[in-house]
Structure 1
Amino acid sequence: MRADIQHVLSQHPEIRQYVRQHPNWYRKLGRDPSQLSLVEKEANYFYGRTFPQRVEKVQNHLGLAMMMIEMLKAGQATVAQASQRR
């Protein structure tokens, strides 16, 4: 592998780890170093760093937070009804 590709991989440990997990990239990068940008894109997709994946993650967290708020409201309403009955 070329020294410039090795330098880029040493500077980006997550991309290096992705290449280690997918060894076919060693061969591809050795033959065509211009595919480094493609490796970076695939690594970002693999690690969930694309914009749509981030948006989906935020939506999931918001949905969970809303569900927790609704549960707390329901619990407070139940406590208030129980105290009124006494």
Structure 2
Amino acid sequence: MRQNIYAFIEENEDVRNYLRIQPIWYKKLMRNPQHLDQLETEAKYFFKKSIPHRVSKFSEGVQVASMMLHMFQAMNNSGS
């Protein structure tokens, strides 16, 4: 395997773990090293670290916070 690809895999923990789960990527990278970006994208989607996943997670957090705020307001108003 090329040194630059090996170094990239070693420094990126998600890619390294994804390669352990999907070892077919070793063969793909040996034949086509330019697919490294595709591997990184698939690893991000697998571990739910892509931008759409992060936006969704943030949105869910905001919804939970909003629900809690409304609940506290309702409890506060009923107690008065």
Q: Which has the larger radius of gyration?
A: 1
Structure 1 stretches lacking a partner, 5+ long? 81-86
Once superposed, which parts of structure 1, at least 4 consecutive aligned residues long, lie more than 6 Å away?
Answer: none
Corresponding position of 2:52:
52
2:64 corresponds to: 64
Residues 14 and 44 in structure 2, CA contact (< 8 A), matched pair in contact too: no
Give ranges in structure 2 of 5+ residues lacking alignment: none
Q: How many Å apart are 1:47 and its aligned residue?
A: 2.1
CA RMSD between the two structures: 1.3
Q: Distance in 2 between matches of 1:59 and 1:38?
A: 27
- State the distance in 2 between where 1:2 and 1:57 align: 36
- TM-superposed deviation, 1:6: 1.2
| TM norm structure 2 | 0.87
Query: Which residue identity is paired with 1:54?
Result: R
Letter in 2 for 1:17: N
Helix, strand or coil at the partner of 1:45: helix
Give 3-state SS (helix, strand or coil) of 2:18's partner.
Answer: helix
Amino acid at match of 2:9: L
TM-score under structure 1 length normalisation: 0.82
